Structure 1
Amino acid sequence: MSLADQVLAVNDDLPIRTDKPVHSGKVRSVYWLTEKDSRRLIKEKGYNVQPDAPLAIMVISDRISAFDCIWHAEGGLNGVPGKGAALNAISNHWFKLFRDNNLADSHILDIPHPFVWIVQKAKPVMVEAICRQYITGSMWRAYSQGERHFCGIELPDGLKKDQKLPSLLMTPSTKGILKNIPGVPEVDDVNVSRQDLENNFSAFNFSHPDDISHYEKLLQDGFEVISNALSQIDQIFVDTKFEFGYVTDAAGQEKLIYMDEVGTPDSSRIWDGAAYRDGEIVENSKEDFRQFLLNYFPDPDILLNKDRMDERFALARDNDLPVSALMDISKTYTAIAEKITGQKIELSDNPKAEIIAILRDEYSLID
């Protein structure tokens, strides 16, 4: 069996029963179940949701996205072996820890397979909730060029690259293009202040003004829970992105929950603690792959300049990367997942066949 066979690169062609188009993102695909199947599963499995809540099957892939593009390697290797299973395992671990610490639920109702979540439909808050404990990456680039104001917060002079910030910093940005909000440009992923959220809470999909404080508390508490757990395995939680949404439980209570993934190498920076104390940065995240791409191509501006997106997409489409580049990121992802969860990440011989068998035999979702 070839390495390419063990990678789930295409995840939007599964024969899951649905009456809606399959939504395929950079990494995950979402299959909305029929109303009949949703009602049946809620009843059979006892999920804590309204009887008529729409459910979906969310299938992760092993695709690797960076700089808004999907990358591939020589020999038909269209993903990173073990990546999907590693990401889901890490998220599942943190979501359980959040519940154990009485923080909030997530959108996940069931985990039939390492690549699969059964999720409930949520009303998303249109904010990428970003939390930073160290100054690095895009924040350092802006700071080093004289920027001191970030999302309404002023940073002091004299900070050094990769240093710990005086306090945990929340720097939210827009999720998608939001229109007609005073002072907020109509572009995706633009920084916003707390004042912006307060003044336009409903435009950001918050149900109540008080929920801004609630989301900040869930963000801060979630960050601290993960940070404390990582410190026990001598890893540093540098920064991360959370997403939130609203659902209604079986008792009719609306609640704010965590959505998407949390604390993974795709959504966070994680540094090795021992190396950091020695003055070195060892990334246990996607950052090394980004750096590889910047060094690999002769004109890295294509990857950094949003005015050159057509060239960037062509670069990703037309270039077979060395297999070693994807195997290096595979080692990083599986190693940090095994450290965090204490469980080995097993490569499946045929993940697609396994998923189909489980969803057919245990959930009756395959015709």
Structure 2
Amino acid sequence: MSLANKVLAVNNDLPIRTDLPIHSGKVRSVYWLTDTDSRRLINEKGYDVAPDSSLAVMVISDRISAFECIWQGQGGMDGVPGKGAALNAISNHWFKLFREKGLADSHILDIPHPLVWIVQKAKPVMIEAIARQYITGSMWRSYEKGEREFCGIKIDDDLSRDQKLPTLLITPSTKGILTGIPGVPEVDDVNITREDIVNNQEAFRFKEASDVEYYEKLLSEGFNVISDELEKLDQIFVDTKFEFGYVTDKQGREKLIYMDEVGTPDSSRIWDAVAYSDGKIVENSKEGFRQLLLSHFPDPDILLNKNRMDERAALARDNELPESVLMAVSETYTAIAEKITGEKIVLSDNPKAEIIDVLRSRYGLID
């Protein structure tokens, strides 16, 4: 069987029963269940959610995005074998560890298949927060140009590229376009300060003022939990993205949870610690793929310059990456997942058929 058949590139065409449009992002597709199916599953499976909660099936693909584009491979291999399963396995591992350490729950209620989550609808906090332990990537590029203040936090003048920061730095940005917040432009993904959040907590969809401090606690403690575990594996947790939301449990209590994904090679930078101690950067995350693209194409400015988005989209559309490139990415993702979880990532022979079978036979979500 060809490798292309082991890749789930299209994940928005599954015959899952739903009354709503399928929401398809760069990597995941979300199928909101009917009220009848949501209530039935809550009752049958005993999920710790309010009886009238909305549930969804979230299916992760093996597509790979970088520089805001989806990239394709030769021979119809329009994704990275094992990538989706690796991302889900890593998130599952960290979410479970967070619960065990008493931090907070996640939106995940059930895991029917390595590529599938059943999730509870959350009311998102409108902040995407990056926690940074090292100065690298876009932050370093800004620092190199003379910037010394990030999201209202001043940093030292004498830092070097890829150096560890004196303290964990939290650099939040808006999630979506928010209106009516003094000093915050009405555009998506704009940097904000802690002061912006504290002074406008309702606009960012926090329920209570005290939840801002709780969110910061979950951010820093979540980062430290992952960092400490990766250190045991000779890996460095460089930076990561966190997202949060509110859900309601069976007792009717509203609670703040982790959502989206966490501590994965897609949402984080992870470096090999042994190589770092020798002065080298070995990426165990998507950053390696980004660097590969920058060296693969003759004009890397297309990938870095937001004013050249049309050219960038054409580059992704009109170029098929060699199979060897996608398999190198596959090795990065599956190897770090197996290192973190201690379990083998098994490639499905026909992932779509497997998903349909399990959702029909065990969950009754496909006619």
Normalising by the smaller structure, the TM-score range is: over 0.9
What is the TM-score normalised by the length of structure 1? 0.99
CA deviations 1:108-167 (Å, max 9, x no partner) are 000000000000000000100110000101111111111110011100110111111000
- Superposed CA offset, 1:310-347 (max 9, x none): 11111111111111111111000000000000001000
1:179 deviates by 2.1
Q: Identify the residue that residue 26 of structure 1 maps to in structure 2.
A: 26
Which letter maps to 1:15?
Answer: P
Unaligned runs of 5+ in 1: none
Alpha-carbon distance between aligned partners in 2 of 1:244 and 1:218, rounded to the nearest angstrom: 9
Residue 216 of structure 1 deviates from its aligned partner by: 0.5
Matches within 5 A, 1:274-285: 274-285=274-285
- Structure 1 Cα separation of the partners of residues 202 and 312 of structure 2: 35
What amino acid maps onto 2:275 in structure 1?
Answer: A
| 1:8-37 deviations in Å (ceiling 9; x for gaps) | 000000000111110000000000000000
Cα distance between partner residues in 1 of 2:159 and 2:286: 25
Pick which of 201-210 and 355-364 moved more.
Answer: 201-210
- Provide the aligned C-alpha RMSD in A: 0.7
Provide the rounded CA distance (Å) in 2 between the counterparts of 1:283 and 1:176. 29
Q: Secondary structure at the match of 2:302?
A: helix
Distance 2:251 2:129 in 1: 28
* Superposed counterparts of 1:1-367, under 5 Å: 1-367=1-367
- The one-character-per-residue Cα deviations of 1:31-71 (angstroms, maximum 9, x if unpaired) are 00000000000000000000000000000000000000000
Q: Which moved more, 1:173-182 or 1:150-159?
A: 173-182
TM-score normalized by the length of structure 2: 0.99
How far, CA to CA, are the matches of 1:211 and 1:6 in structure 2? Answer: 43
Query: What does the per-residue CA deviation read over 1:221-257, in whole Å, with 9 as the maximum and x for residues that have no partner?
Result: 1001000000011100000001000011110111000
How far apart are 1:180 and its partner, in Å? 2.3
Structure 1 position 273, deviation (Å):
0.6
- In structure 2, runs of 5+ residues without a counterpart are none
**Cα shift at 1:183:** 1.1
- Deviation string 1:288-331 (CA, Å, 9 cap, x unpaired) is 11011111112211111111111111111111111111111100
C-alpha separation between the residues in 2 aligned to 1:307 and 1:189?
A: 16
Cα drift, residue 196 of structure 1:
0.6
Paired residue secondary structure (2:237): strand
Tell me the CA shift for residue 209 of structure 1.
Answer: 1.6
Secondary structure of 1:172's counterpart equals: strand
Moved more, 202-211 or 130-139: 202-211
Cα distance in 1 for partners of 2:299, 2:163 equals 29
Question: Aligned equivalents of 1:185 and 1:293: distance in 2?
Answer: 31
Q: Which runs of 4+ in 1 moved over 2 A?
A: none
Number of residue pairs aligned between Structure 1 and Structure 2: 367
Task: Tell me, in whole angstroms, the C-alpha distance in 1 between the residues paired with 2:283 and 2:158.
Answer: 24
User: Partner of 2:245: helix, strand, or coil?
Assistant: strand
Could you tell me how far apart the structure 1 residues matched to 2:122 and 2:314 are? 35
The one-letter code matched in structure 1 to 2:323 is V
- Of 292-301 and 349-358, deviating more is 292-301
Q: Deviations over 1:181-214 (max 9, x none)?
A: 2111222211110011112111111111211111
